[in-house]
């Protein structure tokens, strides 16, 4: 006998007897030849009734002890839950803090990407403008020195500027043992299914309606793409 917080687990003295009888049914069933006569048919049906009755009786004998074990299990789980509840609450709070900061860093990095891209575009535009102005000044000098062909050649040259260099974006801090798992999900925001992309709209198989149709029509149930069948289970009554 064992006890925990007032919950007592009684000794179980019928285990060997129940196990022996259970194996006895298995032995008899294994030694029973295929049914060939009505008498054998009745005998096997009788053995089935006895086996089911035995199972029900064994279940009744074991039920109180099983309930005691279940109560103990519930008590232990409740005790554990109470012990770790503050720590679990702290995990939730810390997770939220980490996620919020990681999201903040990602927003800042995205804003920095936009700023640096704007700087790059501006710098390249200014460099191109300066190159255009220098090209025009050069062409004017050629014109002033009576060299119109050279001036025209300069004006016809395409303006090329080197890509502007920008500072790299700072990496987010890496902490050993800490990572984030991303699970991408979708949520319907349209008010009507008709407004949803048809690639993501499909009809599902209505299992309950099909079962009701089979139950109502039995052998006469027929439908394309569906198999209707009778799932048989032996039922015995004493």
Residue 108: what pLDDT? 92
Neighbours of 154 (CB within 10 A): 19
Residue 58 maps to a domain: yes
Residue 54 maps to a domain: yes
Residue 226 maps to a domain: no
Spatial separation of the C-alpha atoms in residues 228 and 218, rounded to whole Å: 8
Residue 229 maps to a domain: no
Residue 232: what pLDDT? 66
pLDDT at position 107 over 60: yes
pLDDT category at 85 given cuts 50, 70, 90 is very high
How do residues 30-67 score in pLDDT, each as one tens digit?
Answer: 988 888 899 989 999 999 999 999 999 889 888 888 88
Q: Is the pTM of the predicted complex or chain greater than 0.75?
A: no
Query: For 168-177, which contacts have Cβ atoms below 8 Å and span 24 or more sequence positions?
Result: 169/109, 169/112, 169/113, 169/116, 170/109, 170/112, 172/102, 172/105, 172/106, 172/109, 173/105
Who's near 44: CB < 8 A, 6+ residues apart? 32, 35
Q: Which domain holds residue 149?
A: 2-220
Residue 234 maps to a domain: no
pLDDT at position 74 over 90: yes
How do residues 166-213 score in pLDDT, each as one tens digit?
Answer: 788 888 888 888 888 777 787 777 777 677 777 666 655 667 778 888
CA-CA-CA-CA torsion for 199, 203, 207, 211, nearest 10 degrees?
Answer: -150
Residue 9: what pLDDT? 47
Who's near 98: CB < 8 A, 6+ residues apart? 178
Average pLDDT, the chain: 82
Residue 235 maps to a domain: no
**What number is the average pLDDT over the span 74-102?**
90
pLDDT category at 235 given cuts 50, 70, 90 is low
In degrees rounded to 5, what are phi and psi of residue 122? Answer: -65, -45
Residue 225 maps to a domain: no
Residue 23 maps to a domain: yes
Three-state DSSP class for residue 106? helix
Count the domains in the chain. 1
How do residues 121-135 score in pLDDT, each as one tens digit?
Answer: 999 999 999 999 998
Neighbours of 139 (CB within 10 A): 20
List beta partners, residue 8: 3
């Amino acid at each position: 006998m064992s006890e925990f917080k007032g919950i007592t687990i009684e000794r179980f003295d019928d285990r060997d007897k129940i196990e022996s009888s259970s194996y006895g049914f298995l032995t008899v069933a294994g030694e029973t030849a295929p049914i060939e006569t009505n008498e054998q048919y009745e005998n096997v049906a009788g053995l089935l009734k006895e086996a089911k009755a035995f199972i029900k009786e064994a279940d009744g004998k074991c039920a109180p002890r099983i309930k005691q074990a279940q109560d103990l299990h519930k008590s232990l789980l409740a005790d554990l839950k109470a012990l770790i509840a503050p720590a679990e609450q702290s995990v939730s709070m810390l997770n939220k803090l980490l996620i919020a900061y990681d999201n903040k860093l990602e927003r800042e990095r995205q804003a920095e990407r936009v700023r640096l891209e704007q700087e790059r575009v501006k710098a390249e535009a200014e460099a191109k403008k300066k190159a255009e102005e220098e090209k025009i000044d050069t062409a004017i000098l050629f014109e002033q020195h009576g060299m119109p062909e050279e001036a025209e050649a300069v004006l016809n040259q395409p303006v090329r500027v080197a890509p502007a260099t920008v500072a790299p974006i700072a990496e987010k801090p890496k902490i050993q043992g800490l990572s984030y798992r991303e699970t991408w999900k979708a949520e319907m925001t349209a008010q009507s299914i008709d407004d949803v992309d048809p690639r993501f709209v499909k009809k599902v198989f209505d299992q309950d309606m099909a079962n009701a149709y089979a139950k109502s029509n039995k052998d006469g149930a027929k439908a394309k793409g569906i198999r209707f069948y009778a799932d048989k289970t032996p039922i015995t009554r004493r």
